[in-house]
Structure 1
Amino acid sequence: MTLWYLARAAGVMALVFFTIAASLGALGAGSRKPEQRFWLQYVHRSAAVTGLLLLVAHVIAVISDSYVDVGASVVVWPFGSGYRPFAVTVGALAAYSLVFAAVVGAARGRLARSEAFTKRWRSIHLAASLGWLLSIGHSLLAGTDRGTPWMLAITIGCLAAVGTSVAVRLRRREDQRSTPLSLARAGRFQ
């Protein structure tokens, strides 16, 4: 039972930390104050790394647990899982997206010298958003607690947190576009 509890706890907490990272990423991108942006990015990255560590713990615990039919091969071929193959595949795709975003994010400083990479950074970083969304789907499909009120509350809370952060970011962007200073810079305000 210990591995089962560990797998559940690590999976749920990974989702929570990825939600924190996604929320702060959305808020930090729209911040004008450099010191505020620095701290938001620092906590964003810390939450993402913590989420990745919890994801590794989740995967290892699930693979090690003899109750579920999920072998180590699921990391490479998730469709072959004997336990809820579609849900495990959604989780594996989430993991692939999140790890890809983390690797590219870790190399961002070195790749920033490339103008082509800098222009494509936001679109590449969307893999993290896709991974987060797939992890929400995985939590709704895979876990033994997926239908319990507390797990549904956590999942809805995660969706609400990211949704609110994205709404705030979009609102900030719209406010920045409609200020007289930005209109004057754009040549629309005389």
Structure 2
Amino acid sequence: MTLWYLARAAGVVAMVMFTLSASLGILTSGSRGPERRFWLQYVHRSAAATGLLLLTAHVAAVIADSYVAISPTVLVWPFGSGYRPFAMAVGTLALYGLVLAAVVGAARGRLATSEAFTKRWRTIHIAASTGWLLSIGHALLAGTDRGTPWMLAITIGCLAAVAVVGAYRLRAKTSSPQLAGAWRTR
């Protein structure tokens, strides 16, 4: 029972951390002022790193828990899971997107001297957004608590947070010509 609680808690808190990271990432790229941008990026990266640690704990606890019988092969072939194969596939794809973004993000400083990489960074970073959205789908499809009011509230709250921050950023972009120019150059 302990592994089940650990898997649930780690998965839910990881989703919240990735939501915080996504929200701050949206705010960071549109922010003015180097000091504010620095702190937003710092917390954005810290939330993402915390989310990755919790995601690792979630995956390890789910695999170690004998109740649902999910084997480590689900990380390579997610449709082979005996427990909600589609939901496991969505979760595995979320994992792939989040880890890809983390690995590329960690190497970003070393690759920044490459003009080709710098131009493609945003495109590659979309993997994190895709991973976050797939993690929301995984929470709605796979979790044992997915239909409970508290879990639905957390999941809808995560979606709402990113939507509100995205709307704020779009509104700021359209109402401020100076910010609109900053949007295009970053």
TM-score (ref. length: structure 2): 0.94
Counterpart of 2:142 in structure 1: which amino acid? A
**For the aligned residues, what is the CA RMSD?**
1.4
Query: Rg larger in 1 or in 2?
Result: 1
Question: Matches of residues 121-160 of structure 1 in structure 2 within 5 Å?
Answer: 121-160=121-160
Whichever residue aligns with residue 116 of structure 1, its letter is A
Q: Which residue of structure 2 lines up, in the alignment, with residue 51 of structure 1?
A: 51
| Structure-1 separation of matches of 2:117 and 2:138 | 31
Structure 1 CA distance for aligned equivalents of residues 57 and 102 of structure 2: 17
Q: Normalization by structure 1: what TM-score? A: 0.92
The code of the aligned residue for 2:47 comes to A
Q: How many Å apart are 1:139 and its aligned residue?
A: 0.2
List 4+ stretches of structure 1 deviating above 2 A.
Answer: 175-179
Where does the alignment leave 5 or more consecutive residues of structure 1 unmatched? 183-190
- Amino acid paired to 1:66: S
Matches within 5 A, 1:21-36: 21-36=21-36
Match of residue 108 from structure 1: 108
Where does residue 186 of structure 1 map in the other structure? none
Pairwise CA distance, 1:178: 6.9
Q: Quick one: distance in 1 between partners of 2:163 and 2:123?
A: 19
Equivalent AA in structure 2 for residue 80 of structure 1: G
CA contact (8 A) 1:29 1:169 kept: no
Where does 1:1-190 land on structure 2 (aligned, <5 Å)? 1-177=1-177
The share of aligned pairs that are identical, in percent, is 75
Offset, 1:74: 0.8
Are the aligned partners of 1:23 and 1:165 in contact in 2 as well (CA < 8 Å)?
yes
- Cα separation, partners in 2 of 1:49 and 1:178, compared to 1, 3 Å: closer
Moved more, 128-137 or 170-179: 170-179
Structure 2 unaligned blocks of 5 or more: 182-186
Deviations 1:95-147 (A, max 9, x none): 00000000000000111111111111111100000000000000000000000
